[in-house]
Amino acid sequence: MNSFKHRLLILIVALMVFAQGVTVVLALVYLNRGVRAESAAQLTVAHDMLERTLESRARQLRSAAEVLVQDFAFREAAASGDRPTILSALDNHAGRISAALAMLYDTDGAILASTLPGKPIGRVHPPSADAGPQAPVFVVIDRQPYQLVFVPLRAPEVIGW
């Protein structure tokens, strides 16, 4: 009799352990799926918010840059190659709009003036002269990301970006 009781007890305990194991595994699978779905939803929302923020900032930067390139004194300085005046205007304008940097590119993409002197920026290919507003370009300078927008500098033809 004693042996039957032990076998019955072992069977009952084994069934309980099995049932608890199945319950734990199912709960973990369910939680894993829920966490993944919630994470994906949060990433989508964060992605959309980041995109809207970057687009908004690009519009603000483009608008501010258009104000600068319409300034007659700046266009004169750029057309004549007056580097100190160009740098001063870029620096003042960047400060007014809280931009970390401002650059003047020639039509081939070479930097004519930059408010980050001595930092290697590399060659960026500005859009063609007849292109409309472009998507912003992102560059990394000294391990710091920057968002660039291009606005044509016309005098009356495009002489820079």
- Render pLDDT for 33-54 as a digit per residue (tens, 0 to 9): 999 999 999 999 999 999 999 9
pTM: 0.69
**Structure tokens that stand for 94 in this block:** 């960047």
110 by Cβ neighbours in 10 Å (0-12 / 13-18 / 19+) ranks as exposed
Digit-coded pLDDT (tens) for 95-144: 888 888 888 888 887 888 888 877 666 666 666 655 555 677 788 888 88
Question: How many Cβ atoms sit within 10 Å of the Cβ of residue 88?
Answer: 15
Name the amino acid, one letter, at 49. Answer: M
**Structure tokens that stand for 8 in this block:** 């019955």
In eight-state DSSP terms, residue 47 is H
Digit-coded pLDDT (tens) for 109-121: 788 888 887 766 6
